[in-house]
Structure 1
Amino acid sequence: MREPAWRQEGDEPDYRFTLANERTFLAWIRTALAILAGGVLLHQFASGLEPRLAVVILAIVLAVAAAVLSVVAYTRWRANEIAIRNGRPLPFSWVLILLAGVCLLTAAVLAVLFVVA
């Protein structure tokens, strides 16, 4: 596999920064897997919650959020790596706000479904 062109930019960073960036990437991937597992769990084992359509939609939203988060994890890792190589500040990301919103929405919908059921 060919090395990406951006890996030739700037200076080779201290390996500790590169490894820290990689650990952050892996934490994002673990979060995506946990969200996906929550969606699967909701779809498979929350059969007592009604309306069933709302449960299925929420499970789909969680699965899509996990897929999006996986892609964002890579793009965030790459942007951070480029910034580190070029001695620039790390870029801001709206992902944290979006992820918090998805979690808030999921919790709110589940709370309503628990009260109704």
Structure 2
Amino acid sequence: MADSPETRPDERFTLASERTFLAWMRTSLGLLAGGIAVVHLVPDFSTGWVRTTLGLVLIVMAASASMVGLRRWLQVRKALETGAPMPEAKDLWIFAVGIGAIAVLAAVVTVLGIK
């Protein structure tokens, strides 16, 4: 039985996993807000196509953050319940590099003043 005290994961680990999942959701909402803001609220930022591209990339990253967070949470939950090893951090690396690339792109556009 999966819910017996001997096999049930410690609540602290389960709650920590849920907090991490919620952090992914906050990140997703922040990226979504940033994408919408770049497209609609910052008309003086570069050209229209640069604003639109940067905004859409942020919005796509927001969608992927929610999916990566959900997938990761399900993997960790399964690992906690079954005693399996924790999932690899491959998705996290890809996501971190993606956000870093967006930040570099925005910095280059800002510094060079591409119009």
Same fold? TM cut 0.5: yes
Structure 2 residue runs of 5 or longer lacking an equivalent are none
Displacement, 1:79? 0.6
Specify which of 72, 78, 85 is matched with residue 81 of structure 2: 85
Is 1:75 equivalent to 2:71 in the alignment? Answer: yes
Counterpart of 1:54 in structure 2 is: 50
Higher RCO (Cα < 8 Å, 6 or more apart): 1
Matched residues, number: 110
Question: In structure 2, what is the Cα distance between the partners aligned to 1:47 and 1:95?
Answer: 33
Question: In structure 2, what is the Cα distance between the partners aligned to 1:115 and 1:16?
Answer: 45
Specify which of 24, 49, 52 is matched with residue 28 of structure 1: 24
- State TM-score, norm by structure 1: 0.83
Question: In structure 1, what is the Cα distance between the partners aligned to 2:34 and 2:48?
Answer: 16
Counterpart of 1:45 in structure 2 is: 41
What's the CA shift string for 1:12-60, capped at 9, x where partnerless? 2111111111111001111111111111111112211222101101111
SS of the aligned residue for 1:58 comes to helix
Is 1:15 equivalent to 2:11 in the alignment? Answer: yes
Identity %: 37
Displacement, 1:90? 0.7
The alignment's C-alpha RMSD in Å is: 1.9
Is 1:99 equivalent to 2:108 in the alignment? Answer: no
- State TM-score, norm by structure 2: 0.85
Q: Detail structure 1 runs of 4+ shifted over 6 Å in the superposition.
A: none
